[in-house]
Structure 1
Amino acid sequence: MRQKVVIANWKMNYDFHETTSFIRNFLKIVFERKINHNKKIIISPSFPFLHISNQILQGTTLNIAAQNIHHKDKGSYTGEVSAYMLKSIGVQNVILGHSERREFFFEKENILLEKIKIALKYNFNIIFCVGESSLERSNNKQFDIVKTQLKETVFHCTSDEVKSFYIAYEPIWAIGTGETATIEQAQTMHEFIRSLFFDKYGKNISDKVSILYGGSINDLNAKNLFSQKDIDGGLVGKSSLELEKLLKIIQS
C-alpha cells in the first residue's frame, strides 16, 4: 500500500512568531484528533525557521522540508543554502523543481539534476515537481512535457535512489489561480506518470511511488482528488496557511 502524503508548502510566508505558533497549534490538534494515522505530514517553512520548526517537531511523526537547495556543497554562492548545511540541522526532505523555481529563477533540467544528485548524496527525501503550462496543455503537449521533465532528471537515478522520491504533479496553470485540474485530468496525468515509472523501473517501483497533486488544492476538492487510485496526497500551497483548511485536507 502506497504512503499517503500531505505537504504544506508555505513558500515565502510567515515570520518567526507566525511559523512557531502555527506549528505548535497544528501539532496539538493533530494529536488530539489523531488525524495523522497512516499519513506522512510534511511542513515546509522558509529557510530561517527550519531549525526551530524541526526542534518543535522532535519526537513526533511530523516532518520538515526545505523549499529548495543549491546544487553545490559549499562555496562562493552568496545568499544560497546547501544540502550540506540543511543536513546539519536535521532537515531530511527537500522540494525540487517547483514551477515557481523554474519560472522565476530559471531552473532548467540540467540544474535540477545536479540538485537531485546533491540531495541524494546527503540522503534527502525529494519531493520533485513536474507539470505543464496552460499553453502546453492547450497544444496537447502536457504528456510530452511531463515525460521530458522526468526523463532528464529523476530517470537518471537508479532503482534504489528513486525510492527516495515523491513526485508532485502541479499543472502550472492551476497554481495559485484558484483553478484546479478536473478529477479526470488529474487522475489521467497521475496514471500516465505511474506508467512512466513502470516502463523505466518496473512494477514494484511504480506501485510504490507516491504521486501527489498540487495546484489550488483545498479543503473542498481534496477528498475527490484523493479518492482517485493514482493520487496519493497533495502538495498544498495557499490552503496550507490556514490551520483548519490544512487539517481538513489531511483528514480527506
Structure 2
Amino acid sequence: MFRKKVIAGNWKMNKTATEAVALAKDIIGEVGRETSVDIVLCPPFTALAAVAHVLEGQAVKLGGQNMHPEKSGAYTGEVSAEMLRTLYVTHVILGHSERRTYCGETDAFINKKVLAALAHELKPILCVGETLAEREAGSTLAVVQRHVEGGLAGVKPEQITTVIIAYEPVWAIGTGKVATTAQAQEVHAFIRDLLTKLYGTTLAQKVRILYGGSMKPANAAELLAEKDIDGGLIGGASLEARSFIDLVKAADAAK
C-alpha cells in the first residue's frame, strides 16, 4: 500500500510573525512545489496569517498547533476550528504530549477536538506516546492503545483516513534521545494493528503514522525506511530551514 510521506514542522512557541515569514520563505524557496511529500508548517497562532500569505499558491500546507473543540464562547486564549479555517489552515496538531502534561488534557477532551476538527474539514494530527516512566514500567503499548482508542472514539470509518497519527515517545522529544528504529517500528506496527481491529485492513493501511521523537537529517533515512513509519512530526529540526528541507528530501527518497 502506497502512503504519501508527511513531514510536518511543529514550531511550538518559537518565531515571531516576521521570523516565521522568513523561515517559511526559505523553506518554500526549495521545496514549495514539492508534491511527492505532504509538507505542513505549524507556526504559533500569532504567525498563522502571515505564513498563510507566504504559502499562497504553494504545495506546502498550513497547520495549527492546537484548537478548542467548541465553535465559540467564553474560552479566553483559545482558538476554534472555524477560526483556523478562515486562515486557510488545513491540519491541526491535537493531543501533543506538552498539552497533555502542562495543560492536563485528557483523552476524552482530545477526542472532542478530533471530532470537531473533522466536522470542520481539518486534518487532525493526533499525538500519542508514553513517558520515560511508562516505558521503563513496560506499559508503552498499553498507553499508546489508550491514547489511540480514546482519541479516535466516534471517528467514523469514512473519516479515519483524514486522521494522521503521530507516535511521540515523550522521553525523546527535545532531548536528543531517539527511539531505536526497531523500537519506533514496533510501536508504529502496533498502532497499525490497532487501526486494523478498529477499521479493517484496507482503511488501516491508508492511515499515515508519523514518528515524533527527535527525527533529524542524521537518522531520518533509517526511520523512514520502515514500512509503518510514514513521515515525521518535527520539532527542533523544523526551526532551521536547511534541516527541515533535508528531512523533506529524505522523505522523498524513501517513498
Q: Confirm whether residue 170 of structure 1 aligns to residue 168 of structure 2.
A: yes
| TM-score relative to the length of structure 2 | 0.95
Query: Residue type of the partner of 2:4?
Result: Q
Determine the C-alpha separation between the residues in 2 that align with 1:2 and 1:223. Answer: 16
Give how far 1:156 is off: 2.5
Equivalent position to 2:137, from 133, 136, 139: 139
Contact kept, 8 Å, 1:40 with 1:62, in 2: the verdict is yes
Partner of 1:211: 209
Q: CA shift at 1:89, angstroms?
A: 1.9
Match for residue 5 of structure 1? 6
CA distance in 1, matches of 2:204, 2:119: 23
More deviation, 115-124/222-231: 115-124
Deviation at 1:238, TM superposition (A): 0.3
**Which residue is 2:49 aligned to?**
51
Corresponding position of 2:16:
15
- The alignment yields a C-alpha RMSD, in angstroms, of 1.0
1:199-240 CA distance string (max 9 Å, x none): 111111111110000111111011110011110100000011
**Corresponding residue of 2:253:** none
* Contact 2:35/2:59 (8 A) holds in 1: no
Aligned match of 1:30: 31
5+ residue gaps, structure 1: none
User: Offset of 1:162 from its aligned partner?
Assistant: 1.1
Render the CA deviation track for 1:104-135: whole Å, top value 9, x for unaligned: 00000111111112111111001000000111
Counterpart residue number, 2:97: 99
Aligned positions, number: 249
Aligned-residue offset at 1:176: 0.5
| CA positional deviation for 1:153 | 1.8
CA–CA distance in structure 2, aligned partners of residues 103 and 61 of structure 1 = 33
Partner AA of 1:108 in structure 2: T
Q: Which runs of 4+ in 1 moved over 2 A?
A: none
- Which secondary structure state, in structure 1, belongs to the residue aligned with residue 7 of structure 2? strand
CA-to-partner distance for each residue in 1:167-190, whole Å, 9 max, x for gaps?
A: 000000100110000000000100
| 1:130 to 2:128 alignment | yes
Identify unmatched segments of 5+ residues in structure 2. 251-255
Q: How far apart are the structure 2 equivalents of 1:124 and 1:116?
A: 9
Match for residue 157 of structure 1?
155
% same residue:
39
Q: Which moved more, 1:231-240 or 1:152-161?
A: 152-161
Cα separation, 2, equivalents of 1:120 and 1:29: 31
Supply the distance in 1 between the matched residues of 2:106 and 2:238 (Cα, whole angstroms): 27
* Higher mean C-alpha displacement, 196-205 vs 80-89: 80-89
Give CA deviations for 1:18-38 in whole Å, capped at 9, x if unaligned. Answer: 10011112111225xx6x241
Aligned partner letter, 1:126: P
Distance 1:97 1:198 in 2: 22
User: What is aligned with 1:191?
Assistant: 189
1:178 maps to a residue whose letter is G
Structure 1 Cα separation of the partners of residues 111 and 212 of structure 2: 21
1:11 counterpart letter in structure 2: K
8 Å CA contact retained: 2:181, 2:223: yes
Mapped to 1, the partners of 2:38 and 2:88 lie a distance apart of 17
- Distance, in Å, in 2 between the alignment partners of 1:225 and 1:179 is 14
Q: Which amino acid aligns with 1:243?
A: A
Letter in structure 1 aligned against 2:147: Q
- State the TM-score, normalizing by the size of structure 1: 0.96
Q: Is the 8 A contact 2:17 2:47 kept in 1?
A: yes
